[in-house]
Amino acid sequence: MRYGSILRVVFLLTFLVFSGCVDRPPQPTVEENAIKKVAPRAYHSFSFNECKPVDKTRMVKKIDNFVIVFDPSASMTETYEASNDCIACHDHYKDSSYAEKHAVKYGGREFAKQDDKLYTARCNECHQDYLFSKFKFAKKLATCFNKSIPDLELISALRTFGYPVYSMLGNGPEEYDKTAYDLSLRKIFDADGASPLAPTLTAVGKDLFDHPGKKAVIVISDGQDMGQKEVLAAEELKARYGEDICIYTVHIGNDPSGKKTMKKIAIAGQCGVSVSGDDLLAREKMENLVREIFLIKDSDGDGVPDFKDDCPGTLPGLEVDENGCWKLVVLGNVLFDFDKFNIKPEGIIILNQVVNLLNKHNFLDLHISGHTDNFGSMKYNINLSKQRVQSGLNYIQKNGISPKRLSISWHSFSIPVATNDTVEGRSLNRRLEFTFKKRQD
């Protein structure tokens, strides 16, 4: 073979190898124009238009105080990367056309190979934004969280740790104001320093000392450079406030050690949860967390949560006591004519409502108490209040309610609810009170 012919063969083989025509399967392709038409996707950003107060229909306030503990330490300046949980959920790459569909829809790179490890690396590489830190992501998350809190009367505070060390933003625990809280979050300008979460949790315990009621502590952090000290600090906080406090943690990033620590901190609170910040990108999951922290179910809408409501199904608009049972106060002149104890037609209507409620909820007992104004002697009013209470009791019994479920007392003018020095005050004191209570078997 001539030297020139040899050169031609070598050239041809070289061309075939580098052109990918030798034993290489065709790769998914994406039209360049299709990619250019798609606006770059802001990876893991919150749509603030969707960040709005959660619906609190048939729910009531669960807590009275909350503190967000935000981490602006040095580790939070690192590039934000999706958590492993987030990466694992992207199993659609097994579809041979996934790469092309993904690139066309989002403007990302195609992933031709089906290797798990390579895909995970490529996924991170595609979505990484070297100007988008964990700090920036966490700040956006906290802002959306604040916007999602429903309108409630709360005491709130915001603490940071890192540099400056465990600082309080704002004026300390004060009445919660969404706009003011948002401003405090925006004042967290930078991240630096170590991660002194343990002394921060101790400081939070002092912040809440003068504020009674249920409390929630929400820690937003990557959990890095933390360990047993932070868990012990959370346990001490729990020991100090017991059932009145719950601890929630939101883990930022994909550090497995940090995730483990954040979970232990939440467990130390015994009634909170630990979630990944990535999960909260889904509006539904953000709403679920906010409801978990701030609200509790009130199925009948009477303002008393289900777990302590002795009278579920109370009709809307009825005044209830702290146990969720109908607290019926009826003025004496509605049930009876002045200085009489025979029940008036208007009174019969009310007593029928009482009977209906007792028939509907056979686990309820009823106590009727009688009261008068101070017109006349104590002896006279004792007898009058007793006669009126007895009239009510007799009517309810005659309508089928067992005497075992009923009790009465009479008090004359010894328990006034208003002044007896005016006509209006005396009319308020002339009353019968119907108190429903769950039977204690």
> What sign results for the dihedral spanned by CA atoms 29, 33, 34, 37?
positive
pTM: 0.64
C-beta contacts of 343-346 below 8 A and 24+ residues apart: 343/391, 343/392, 343/395
Contact 168, 199 (CB under 8 A): no
How far apart (Å, rounded) are the C-alpha atoms in residues 80 and 128?
7
Query: pLDDT-derived band of residue 138, with 50, 70 and 90 as boundaries?
Result: very high
Q: Which amino acid is at 8?
A: R
Largest CA distance in the chain: 139
Contact 250, 217 (CB under 8 A): no
How far apart (Å, rounded) are the C-alpha atoms in residues 374 and 430?
9
How far apart (Å, rounded) are the C-alpha atoms in residues 22 and 25?
9
59-81+132-297 in CATH: which number?
Answer: 3.40.50.410
Instruction: Encode pLDDT of 186-244 as tens digits.
Output: 999 888 888 899 999 999 999 998 999 999 999 999 999 999 999 999 999 999 999 99
Angle between helices 134-148 and 178-186 (to 10 degrees): 170
Query: How does strand 65-70 pair with strand 327-331?
Result: unpaired
Per DSSP, helices labelled H in 242-302 are 256-269, 283-294
Weakest-pLDDT range from 219-223, 276-280, 325-329: 325-329
What's the start-to-end Cα distance of the chain, in Å? 109
Instruction: Encode pLDDT of 337-392 as tens digits.
Output: 888 888 889 889 999 989 998 998 888 899 999 999 998 999 999 999 999 999 99
How far apart (Å, rounded) are the C-alpha atoms in residues 283 and 281?
6
Query: How does strand 295-297 pair with strand 274-276?
Result: unpaired
Strands in 323-373 per DSSP E: 327-331, 364-371
Position with higher pLDDT, 438 vs 351: 351
Class of domain 306-438 as given by CATH: alpha beta
Instruction: Encode pLDDT of 293-320 as tens digits.
Output: 999 887 677 777 777 777 777 766 667 7
CATH 3.30.1330.60 residue window(s) in the chain: 306-438
CATH 3.40.50.410 residue window(s) in the chain: 59-81+132-297
